[in-house]
Structure 1
Amino acid sequence: MVQILQGKDITLAQLIDEFGLQLADDENFFSEWRYDLPELSDLEKESLNEVKAEYLHLSKYPILEPVVKMVVLSPLLRLAGFYQPPFYIASEQEVKISSEDE
């Protein structure tokens, strides 16, 4: 009998344990992403490897969007120069919701 699992009810750590999933770390995997790219400095490569390692560690467990933003997105935006002119960061406007109870 086939067991059906809902995605929301299982973690990556469980899939690794139960099915022996392994990370495909072959540099030729999705090789089309590597064409005509500028050369990275050693510091940039080191920073990207740190972000990758931190994400791979945390992704084994349930993580919420704010953690992904903090651990992955923010360092990538910094490395790409999106915190420097002519770019700027704007946050969402605060929305207050209230309701009257009896």
Structure 2
Amino acid sequence: MKNDKAILKTSDWVKGISRHGELIIGFIDSMSMVQEAVNVVVVESDNEEMIGKTIPMSVNQVESIPMIQSKGAGELEFLIDLALATGDKEWFEELSAELNSKKQAVN
């Protein structure tokens, strides 16, 4: 992989342009070091038909999106829905715990 790019890993959020010119925002589902490719689960795109699909992309087509440390309740609820939709139990539990602690801090 290229030295000038952040090191990518599974579950990283990325953005990029597909080979058909569509804006893609999603997370890495799997990757191939040999092919320098990642499979990205599309969460947002200017082509709505792409949303929810997993597409292969070259590591040169994507860049890592830095995670914001503090998420709001609305963001956490969206991510919890996404974790449920993707069947990621560990991520669901992590996000639910974060949302519960945020709600308890407010009360």
The structure with more strand, counted as a fraction of residues: 2
**Higher radius of gyration, 1 or 2:** 1
The structure with more helix, counted as a fraction of residues: 1
Q: TM-score, normalised by structure 2?
A: 0.27
Whose relative contact order is higher, 1 or 2, with alpha carbons under 8 Å and at least 6 apart?
1
Q: TM-score, normalised by structure 1?
A: 0.28
